[in-house]
Structure 1
């Protein structure tokens, strides 16, 4: 199945980059996919999944978690501040911390729920006004804010501009992570995950290449 092909490509990319086998985590992006497709991937052994919408994830993952042991759920879409409570309760990792108000709310909810999902800071590497994310030159100050709130980000995340070569953006994210002592690099999607792995990705987010095209009907 497609999952096997993606897994082979990830392992080949790790090898080509001199990376340790298994050092890259595949996040299967299951947003708006039909349940049958997601269940087929679960039955094939995939356990790490990404969702973009809190409400959608709430509606389907509790049941699957009851049936399939070891599921790890990652929030990879924009997160509204008023959904922080549900996100902290449901997700094992949040990849889209992108503003101070959300940092405060997540810190509050983590303390109240005594639950600590991994957190990645989204960086707007292309300085795109329409896109979420912390600008590169604002990252040091934002990370200090996080530390003051008791948040300890696992790493950084980015979505390069569609029309540009992603490699320089991946390279920038890696440099920023190294500068701040952060181990995680959430970068690379269906079209460019091998490039991301060559540039140091620890998590790649692959959806359509595993599940097929999405239907929004």
Structure 2
């Protein structure tokens, strides 16, 4: 029976092979293990296998996990990758290290105001609706600069880069166009803000394509923890 440890190793091998294939710098892609709906025991298993970055979609579920593991596994880096509503920003600002899904100025300002001075700046990625689907969150590429400028000006936030969820289709040509657009937007943002270093792009089914297009962080759930 294949285990979480086995699947984690297989996923890391996929990333390494893609890095080698596309002549990326070794260790330039971080694996974000998406642990939403999974029990603490699964997180601990992945942790014991060397995983440190974990992604959660639901604030209340995530806080329970963070609090339960904070003393015994205090070097976990917690990423929020779900839709963030105004009434949840205080919890997000208090408990997470990263927020990947910023699309509104209001949410950015609230996170900044609610982040404690005792904590390091909250790492922020702007979510881009690269497929321009009405069912998906995120700003248009044309709105990235305005939101980036605001986030950069907020002292308790650290603008780190961009995030996107591409079209859910089995069409590599179309996906390549979307990924290329994100790659270009990322380079443009890097040129403007030297501290920008993160392109959160790619999931279980498209790791290789994401690495090809300069992704620095892939978000993988089912390939590690199994289907929900």
Count of aligned pairs between the two proteins: 214
Unaligned residue ranges in structure 2 (runs of 5+): 1-5, 191-195
- Note if 1:175 corresponds to 2:184: yes
Instruction: Tell me whether 1:75 sits opposite 2:80 in the alignment.
Output: yes
Match of 2:9 in 1: 4
Using the alignment, how far apart are the partners of 2:30 and 2:122 within structure 1?
A: 16
Going from structure 1 to structure 2, the CA distance change for 1:113 and 1:102 (only over 3 Å counts) comes to farther
Report the equivalent of 2:159.
153
Q: Does residue 202 of structure 1 match 2:216?
A: yes
TM-score (norm 1): 0.92
3-state secondary structure, aligned to 2:159: coil
RMSD across aligned positions (CA): 1.6
Task: Name the counterpart of 1:162.
Answer: 168
TM-score by length of 2: 0.88
Distance 1:66 1:166 in 2: 41
Deviations 1:169-194 (A, max 9, x none): 22111111111223210000011111
For structure 1, list consecutive stretches of 5 or more residues without a partner in the other structure.
none
After TM superposition, the runs of 4+ consecutive aligned structure 1 residues lying more than 6 A away are: none
Task: Evaluate the alpha carbon distance shift between residue 16 and residue 34 of structure 1 in structure 2; reply closer, same or farther with a 3 A threshold.
Answer: same
Distance, in Å, in 1 between the alignment partners of 2:21 and 2:203 is 18
Answer whether contact 1:3 1:41 (CA < 8 A) is retained: yes
Report the counterpart of residue 3 of structure 2 in structure 1.
none
